[in-house]
Amino acid sequence: MDADGLNDALGLSNDKSQNLGAYIYQPSKHGKSAGERPSKRRKVSSTVDRYEQFDRQRFVPLLNGDEIPKSVQLRHDTYRELWSKQENKIQDILEDVDAGVLTDVLSFVRDTSPQTCDGCIPTALVTVGSNVSSLSRLLSRLNGQLISTEEGSVVVLESGDAPNLKTTLKNIIRAAVTNTDGNDGYQKFLTDRAGPRLLGYDLDLLHDYVQRKGTKKLVLALRDSEAFDPGLLTDLLSLFKSWLDRIPFTVLLGISTSVELFEGRLPRSCVSLLQGKHFEVQEAGNCVDRIYETLQTNPDANLWLGRNVTSTLFENTSDYFQSPEAFSRMVKYAYMSHFFANPLAVLLANPDSTVIAQNKLCEAIRNLPSFRMFCEDLVEEGSTKQVRGMLEDDEYLIQETPKYLEANQQRMRNMFQAVRVVHVCLQYTQSAKKANVSDLSVRALSGELSESPIVEEMVATAKTLDSDKLDELLVRLGGIITNPEADAIQEDLRTLLETCSESGPLCSGYNINSTVTKTTVVQQRIRLSKGQADLSEQAVEYTNIVNRLVALLQVHLTESLINPQDLFLNEAFLFDLRNPLKETFAPRPRFAIERALATPFDYLLSSSDVTMAKVSAKQPATSILYQLYLDSGALVNVHDLWQAFYGVFETEEAGGCDDRVVMSLFYSALSELKAFGVIKNSRKKTDHLAKSAWMGL
């Protein structure tokens, strides 16, 4: 076998690039003669010729490649437009969440000085909990604020920057200078000095810099304080203390655990150098809920996340302590998937009929499960003509589709408004556990909310509200329900309350205080009977109002809380695929590798349709060895393993197998298992391996 063939067999490229650590990629000049690459490129380039202007973006034509370029472009543009809107909203929320802490920290930085702190270093302790990313957001905004007012700057330090004192100081100084002057400024700063050249870690440099800039506050932020070496931290802080008269340090410590734990790790002498204040950043969970609520219940939303996606999103957030950013990135990915892979997404762009008039797109619409359901309903109603039209006439379908799309999107919006109504009501009726919008949304999206016990209970409790609370509730609801009846109820309640403003809050007839239990003796038996207590006139009137409101609520909820899966074209405006999202953000690499090794034909679609359950020589060598490995005990004799491995080949290839070839396969398989960390050398016996991983654990 010639050298090229051998290298091909081993997957080695002939150039030396595989042995280099890092290099700049240059396309290979010698075009590979064989293989599918050139032909593939040719195909793509021909498309480029035809639709040159559409090659500027990444989307691939769908519908088996027959999607027209304009539609591809539309999908892309709609995604951009839609997401940029949503992203702005998310940014607003994040800024809003941070705003409180930011102003607190900023005013702390401005107001404190060593003098106000009894000569100690002013210190802000910021506990972030699991919301790790919030601190970097906070710091960059703090930095921006301080620089814009020319008060000073923020130097962010991570534990990775601090291997030892010298490097740490050097990093601090460099970061401080480059933060305002850039990298060139730092170089200039080092060289353009009068007097002897100072070393990079000399705090005199920083002193110089502070004097030149007139810095009033130099905030040194340790992002992950717990990860710093306590000894180093002590040294650093005591050094800062001694320079405090010349450099106006303020230390900001980001803490993930708790202030007490952090303090416990430091020596007392070090703690006594610090004096400061404790700030708390809001937990990620609230923030995530707010983002979700804004995205989904926004009255001009076009695309919604379905039940499966929602539950996956929240599962990930709680299981992996995701930051709000990570959450919004997942939502973004969901949007991306929808527009990238769903040809129906083009409908969201309100396209003109030329775009929809693709034969394939109409076919795709007719193949939707929701279309089938819709047609069945129509047939039941007796409008067979309409069904026939939609099935046979493309133009009719094109004409009808946008109408239904718009109508059903409106129903989705109504549904989320109803979710908000329930949420608001729950705040007044539910005492113990507060259901958040995301929980309610999951129920609503699966069409279960209207019959759920939560709503029933809510309605029941709403009946017993007194007039003050009901008034508040109505005000809140007024913003959501736009119904003349609601306004009328509110009006009536107002007038009623005005007439009896001095008698305190009114109670409805459903209130527990207004029922009385009568005890009567009938035929020597005591009979308990409940009856309405005599209600005052106002109370009766109030009860009427409550009844009207409850009726309104019930009607409203049953009307709007539909099952989104039943809506025609829900595939276009509801993204509900669990899988790309789950696998992409919470992968199971170990499972993937174990599966590939234990059942290799799950991946290698065998051309010969033999489904081999047993170990065979047709499988890749590592799979064979892995399956033998799975059968063995905690300690494996290499010789026996080799014999078994050889046996697999020996039995199948009668006579024609070279044991040295098999041996080389054995070698490569063994080295791969070692690289995966499933076997290691055992010292218990010679030529034995210890098993260190169990499948499925």
Partner 1 sequence: MKRKLSDAGDQPPVSTPKRRRTALEQSNGALNSHAPNASPPNGDASHELPPSGRGQSTPKKANGVSATPLQQSGLKTPTHKSKARGLFATPTKPKSATAATPSRVKNADRSARKKSARVLFEQDEDTAWDGSERLAEEILHGDQPDTEKAGQPLAESIEPEGEEDAPEKGVKQPKRRAGRPKGARNKRSPTPDGELPAHERYFFQNRAGPVKTSNATLNKVPLLTHEEYFEKLGQFEDPCKEEKEYLQSLHHRSFPQWAFEFDEGFNICLFGYGSKRKLTDEFAEWIYNHRLSDTANPTIVMVNGYTPGISIRSIFATIVTAVMGDNAPSKLGAQPTEVLELLQAALKSHEEPVTVLINSIDAPPLRRAANQALLARLAATPRIRLLVTADTPNFPVMWDISLRDQLNLVFHDCTTFLPFSAETDVVEEVHALLGRKGRRVGGKDGVGFVLKSLPENARNLYRLLLTELITLLDDGHQSDDEGAAEGGKPGDETGIEFRLLYQKATEEFVASSEMMFRTLLKEFHDHQMITSRMDASGMEILGVPLSRDEMEGVLEDLVLG
Residues 195-234 that bind partner 1 (CB under 8 A): 224
Transcribe 271-321 into DSSP letters: HTTEEEEEEEPPPHHHHHHHHHHHHHH-TT---EE-HHHHHHHHHHHHHHT
Residue whose C-alpha is closest to residue 497's, from 517, 478, 481, 474: 474
Residues 603-632 touching partner 1, rule: CB under 8 A, are 603-607, 617-620, 622, 631-632
Residues 404-433 touching partner 1, rule: CB under 8 A, are none
Q: Is 39 in the site for partner 1 (CB under 8 A)?
A: no
* Nearest-angstrom CA–CA distance, 333 and 302: 16
Question: Between the CA of residue 31 and those of 37, 39, 75, 139, 572, what are the distances in Å?
Answer: 9, 12, 35, 51, 43
Residue whose C-alpha is closest to residue 427's, from 436, 418, 438, 440: 436
Residues 483-542 touching partner 1, rule: CB under 8 A, are none
Transcribe 91-136 into DSSP letters: HHHHHHHHHHHHHHHHHHHHH--TTTTTTSEEEEEEE-TT-HHHHH
Kindly tell me which residue out of 293, 325, 541, 576 binds partner 1, with binding defined by CB under 8 A: 325
Is the Cβ of residue 22 or residue 512 nearer to partner 1 in the bound state?
22
Q: Which stretch binds partner 1 (CB under 8 A): 104-112, 228-236, 297-305, 333-341?
A: 333-341
* Nearest-angstrom CA–CA distance, 183 and 188: 9
Q: Is 91 in the site for partner 1 (CB under 8 A)?
A: no
Is the Cβ of residue 172 or residue 574 nearer to partner 1 in the bound state?
172
CB of 681 to partner 1, least distance (A): 5
Kindly tell me which residue out of 596, 599, 647, 650 binds partner 1, with binding defined by CB under 8 A: 596
Mutual angle of helices 467-478 and 394-429, in 10-degree steps: 150
Q: Is 71 in the site for partner 1 (CB under 8 A)?
A: no
CB of 617 to partner 1, least distance (A): 7
Under 8 Å between Cβ of 398 and 356: yes
Is the Cβ of residue 367 or residue 664 nearer to partner 1 in the bound state?
664
Is the Cβ of residue 529 or residue 667 nearer to partner 1 in the bound state?
667
CB of 572 to partner 1, least distance (A): 20
Under 8 Å between Cβ of 314 and 586: no
Is the Cβ of residue 12 or residue 475 nearer to partner 1 in the bound state?
12
Is the Cβ of residue 8 or residue 394 nearer to partner 1 in the bound state?
8
Residues 305-324 touching partner 1, rule: CB under 8 A, are 320-323
Contacts with 375 (C-beta within 8 Å, 6 or more apart), sequence order: 387, 390, 391
Kindly tell me which residue out of 119, 299, 369, 667 binds partner 1, with binding defined by CB under 8 A: 667
For 604, list phi and psi in degrees, rounded to 5. -85, 95
Kindly tell me which residue out of 165, 357, 378, 695 binds partner 1, with binding defined by CB under 8 A: 695
Under 8 Å between Cβ of 298 and 441: no
CB of 260 to partner 1, least distance (A): 22
Q: Is residue 153 helix, strand or coil?
A: strand
CB of 467 to partner 1, least distance (A): 49
Residue whose C-alpha is closest to residue 478's, from 386, 549, 543, 535: 549
Position of tokens 């005005």? Answer: 498
Residue whose C-alpha is closest to residue 280's, from 308, 306, 259, 311: 259
Is the Cβ of residue 67 or residue 439 nearer to partner 1 in the bound state?
67
CB of 89 to partner 1, least distance (A): 17
For 515, list phi and psi in degrees, rounded to 5. -105, 140
Residues 370-399 touching partner 1, rule: CB under 8 A, are none
* Residues facing 277 on adjacent strands: 124
Is the Cβ of residue 122 or residue 600 nearer to partner 1 in the bound state?
600
Q: Where are the beta strands (DSSP E) in 455-549?
A: 515-522, 525-532
* Nearest-angstrom CA–CA distance, 324 and 293: 13
Count of residues interacting with partner 1 (CB under 8 A): 121
Is the Cβ of residue 379 or residue 592 nearer to partner 1 in the bound state?
592
Question: Between the CA of residue 551 and those of 456, 511, 512, 556, what are the distances in Å?
Answer: 12, 17, 20, 8
Residues 103-162 touching partner 1, rule: CB under 8 A, are 130, 132-133, 158-161
Is the Cβ of residue 24 or residue 526 nearer to partner 1 in the bound state?
24
CB of 566 to partner 1, least distance (A): 31
Is the Cβ of residue 14 or residue 238 nearer to partner 1 in the bound state?
14
Q: Is 343 in the site for partner 1 (CB under 8 A)?
A: no
Kindly tell me which residue out of 154, 233, 270, 326 binds partner 1, with binding defined by CB under 8 A: 326
* Nearest-angstrom CA–CA distance, 572 and 406: 11
Question: Between the CA of residue 381 and those of 162, 365, 384, 386, 397, what are the distances in Å?
Answer: 74, 21, 8, 11, 19
Is the Cβ of residue 532 or residue 681 nearer to partner 1 in the bound state?
681
Kindly tell me which residue out of 283, 381, 451, 687 binds partner 1, with binding defined by CB under 8 A: 687
Is the Cβ of residue 335 or residue 573 nearer to partner 1 in the bound state?
335
CB of 15 to partner 1, least distance (A): 10
Kindly tell me which residue out of 14, 28, 383, 579 binds partner 1, with binding defined by CB under 8 A: 28
Q: Is residue 530 helix, strand or coil?
A: strand
Is the Cβ of residue 6 or residue 555 nearer to partner 1 in the bound state?
6
Residues 627-666 touching partner 1, rule: CB under 8 A, are 631-640, 642-643, 658, 660-661, 663-665
DSSP run (H or E) holding 222: strand 217-222
Q: Is residue 507 helix, strand or coil?
A: coil
* Nearest-angstrom CA–CA distance, 110 and 114: 12
Q: Is 54 in the site for partner 1 (CB under 8 A)?
A: no
Q: Which stretch binds partner 1 (CB under 8 A): 14-22, 142-150, 289-297, 534-542?
A: 14-22
Kindly tell me which residue out of 27, 382, 453, 656 binds partner 1, with binding defined by CB under 8 A: 27
* Residues facing 218 on adjacent strands: 153, 249
Q: Is 23 in the site for partner 1 (CB under 8 A)?
A: yes
Is the Cβ of residue 75 or residue 307 nearer to partner 1 in the bound state?
75
Residue type, 552: L
Residues 153-192 touching partner 1, rule: CB under 8 A, are 158-161, 163, 167, 170-171, 174-175, 178, 182-183
Residues 535-594 touching partner 1, rule: CB under 8 A, are 583-585, 587, 589-590, 592-594
Q: Which stretch binds partner 1 (CB under 8 A): 306-314, 444-452, 530-538, 680-688?
A: 680-688
CB of 58 to partner 1, least distance (A): 4
Residue whose C-alpha is closest to residue 259's, from 143, 158, 123: 123
Kindly tell me which residue out of 336, 373, 378, 496 binds partner 1, with binding defined by CB under 8 A: 336
Is the Cβ of residue 190 or residue 550 nearer to partner 1 in the bound state?
190
- Residue 201 tokens read as 């870690």
